[in-house]
């Protein structure tokens, strides 16, 4: 089985971790890489804000512990500004530069960036060309199926990006109009894979090893991107990688391992950002660790009130107590 290559980079595995605003900070990426993510990507970074040297934006670039290639994702709609932003971060510690052409958020598309770019294949190519001209790293692109059912442009956009020098393309198999409504179009991933010569990663609704294998078999794509389903369950990468690589399914983590991972992740968030900033963000991370637990609804409510790191310790104690009570 041939590994995925992004320029001179060789990925250790075919399941990779997708970027999510508000979630994929350095502690989260470190956790996913440790459990087998083939690469990780930063939260999306505004090219315009970078050119203004915005401190908050620069903080999003912090690398995680090495273990898998790490990419910085830029968004923007002006080729020259995207190029300037790429040049500005040339001295930062990352392995490849990803361009966001898939974000469906209204505040992003209203400015012409994210998935709005899918309406303009030629502009997609111009952006890739400008970024590539200002970075020494491989340039990758994450896009959607298209804008809506009347504008399914992934193949055109992918061809333009490859011609401009992109080294890899990830395709989220929904249009912008679909947002995150369940149901993906595997045919569009296959169409892009057949249209370009660079690696293609499929994205959308990968929640199990079976989902990953289905996408790989039905589309011929080179790898799969997992995002939300791995929150609170980084072991999903171990299970998916084992299935892809024909290895036995790894044992499921016990409750202690799950809570240890949560505690370490949030502690690193506090160390990185300070308690005041980190703990509100930690609420969303903690909620995902409650998946599948007995009394999960009450535990999720408790997670929503985390204010101090000591609150997390209390929550973890409550988790263990609740599981014991419900199994007695």
Spell 8-25 as b/e; 16+ CB within 10 A means b. Answer: ebebebbbbbbbbbebbb
Non-local CB neighbours of 260 within 8 Å, separated by 6+ positions: none
Helices 79-88 and 121-133, interaxial angle, to 10°? 30
CA-atom Rg of the chain in angstroms: 20
The Cα–Cα gap between 162 and 182 comes to: 29
- Respond yes or no: is residue 157 known to be catalytic: no
Tokens at 271, concatenated: 């160390």
Residue tagged active-site, from 103, 157, 161, 221: 103
The Cα–Cα gap between 219 and 195 comes to: 12
The strand pairing partners of 171, in sequence order, are: 143, 202
Active site residues: 103
């Amino acid at each position: 089985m041939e590994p995925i290559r992004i320029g001179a980079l060789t990925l250790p595995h075919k399941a990779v971790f997708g970027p999510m605003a508000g979630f994929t900070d350095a502690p989260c990426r470190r956790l996913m890489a440790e459990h087998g993510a083939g690469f990780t990507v930063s939260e999306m970074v505004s090219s315009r804000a970078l050119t203004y040297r915005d401190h908050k934006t620069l903080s999003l670039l912090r690398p995680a512990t090495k273990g898998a290639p790490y990419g910085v994702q830029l968004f923007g709609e002006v080729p020259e500004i995207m190029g300037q932003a790429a040049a500005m971060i040339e001295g930062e510690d990352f392995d490849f530069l990803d361009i966001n052409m898939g974000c469906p958020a209204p505040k992003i598309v209203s400015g012409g960036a994210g998935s709005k770019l899918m309406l303009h294949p030629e502009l997609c190519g111009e952006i890739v060309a400008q970024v590539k001209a200002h970075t020494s790293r491989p340039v990758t692109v994450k896009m959607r199926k298209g804008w809506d059912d009347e504008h399914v442009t992934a193949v055109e956009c992918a061809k333009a990006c490859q011609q401009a020098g992109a080294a890899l393309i990830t395709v989220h198999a929904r249009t912008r109009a679909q947002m995150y409504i369940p149901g993906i179009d595997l045919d569009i991933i296959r169409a892009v894979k057949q249209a370009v010569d660079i690696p293609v990663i499929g994205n959308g609704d990968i929640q199990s090893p079976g989902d990953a294998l289905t996408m790989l078999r039905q589309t011929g794509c080179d790898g799969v991107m997992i995002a939300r389903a791995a929150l609170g369950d980084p072991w999903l990468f171990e299970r998916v990688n084992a299935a892809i690589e024909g290895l036995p399914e790894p044992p499921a983590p016990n409750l202690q391992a799950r809570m240890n991972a949560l505690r370490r992740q949030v502690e690193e968030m506090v160390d990185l950002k300070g308690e005041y900033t980190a703990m509100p963000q930690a609420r969303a991370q903690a909620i995902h660790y409650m998946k599948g637990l007995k009394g999960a609804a009450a535990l999720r409510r408790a997670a929503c009130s985390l204010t101090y790191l000591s609150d997390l310790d209390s929550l973890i104690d409550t988790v263990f107590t609740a599981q014991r009570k419900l199994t007695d």
